[in-house]
Amino acid sequence: MVRFNVSGVLRSGMDDAPFTIKKLPARTVVGVTRRTSNADGRSVTDIPAGCTEFLKTNAAAKIRNRAAPPAMYAVYSDYETDWTGEYSYMIGCGVTRAEKAPEGMEIRRIPEQTYAVFNAKGQMPDEVLAVWSMVWGSRLPRTYTYDFEVFDERFTRPKAKEVDVCVAIDPVQLEKLQQ
């Protein structure tokens, strides 16, 4: 695990946002998926609608083999191009195994990868959006495979909520940027 300051990687006044480089193990998530895009503004309504659907239908209760300790994930995958193109957004639960998804849900098998891990702390979802805004304006060498947010026990606190934002990167290219 290597801790970096984003100087030289993130642009314009964002040099105080540290991230940690971690090779994270493979994981499986089951949940509700929507296709969306940032460029045309659909993500502003699609992402909250996906979360609302997941919570209102008590989708987590339908997911078998949920991992312990429990965590919800927001998974970004199937990128058409980059963050400006279409991509799939999933809200779901981490599981220990998944042979078949419940009706209306899908399975995402996230492989072991290297990530820039940002820790969003404070008012949610504002802090998570602030992290993504920094990432979108950065020169991070993203792979556009699987990015995800982890909503674990730290997110359930009444105050001082935390969410990890994990952005898949190419570690070799990141090292070149740091030189």
pLDDT 10s digits, 40-54: 889 999 999 999 999
- Mean residue pLDDT across the chain: 89
CA torsion sign, 157 to 50 to 119 to 62? positive
* Structural domain contains residue 42: yes
In a domain, 178, yes or no: no
- Across residues 122-135, what is the average pLDDT? 92
* pLDDT class of 11 with cuts at 50, 70, 90: very low
Dist CA 114 CA 33 (whole Å): 24
Residue 175 lies in a domain: no
Q: Does any domain span residue 177?
A: no
Q: So what's the pLDDT on residue 103?
A: 95
Instruction: Write out the residue range of the structural domain in which residue 145 sits.
Output: 2-169
Residue 30 belongs to some domain of the structure: yes
Given a cut of 90, whether residue 7 has pLDDT beyond it is no
In a domain, 8, yes or no: yes
Alpha-carbon distance 170 to 40, whole Å? 27
Which tokens in the block code for residue 88? 């799939």
With respect to residue 54, please indicate whether it lies within any of the assigned structural domains: yes
* Model confidence pLDDT, tens digit, residues 135-162: 998 889 999 999 999 999 999 988 889 9
The three-state secondary structure class of 45 is helix
Report which DSSP code applies to 153: G
Structure tokens at 33: 């998926």
Q: How many domains does the chain have?
A: 1
First to last CA, the chain: 18
Which single residue is written with the structure tokens 């909520």? 161
More confident residue, 152 or 179: 152
For the cut 50, the answer to whether the pLDDT of residue 13 exceeds it is: no
- 40 is a domain residue: yes
Spatial separation of the C-alpha atoms in residues 91 and 76, rounded to whole Å: 9
The sign of the dihedral angle between the CA atoms of 178, 133, 42, 148 is positive
Q: How confident is the model at residue 174 (pLDDT cuts 50, 70, 90)?
A: confident
8 Å CB contact between 133 and 154: no
Whether 109 has a pLDDT exceeding 50, the answer reads yes
CATH code of 50's domain:
3.20.80.10
**Could you tell me the two tokens for 26?**
């493979």
Q: How large is the average pLDDT for residues 43-72? A: 94
State residue 16's pLDDT score: 52
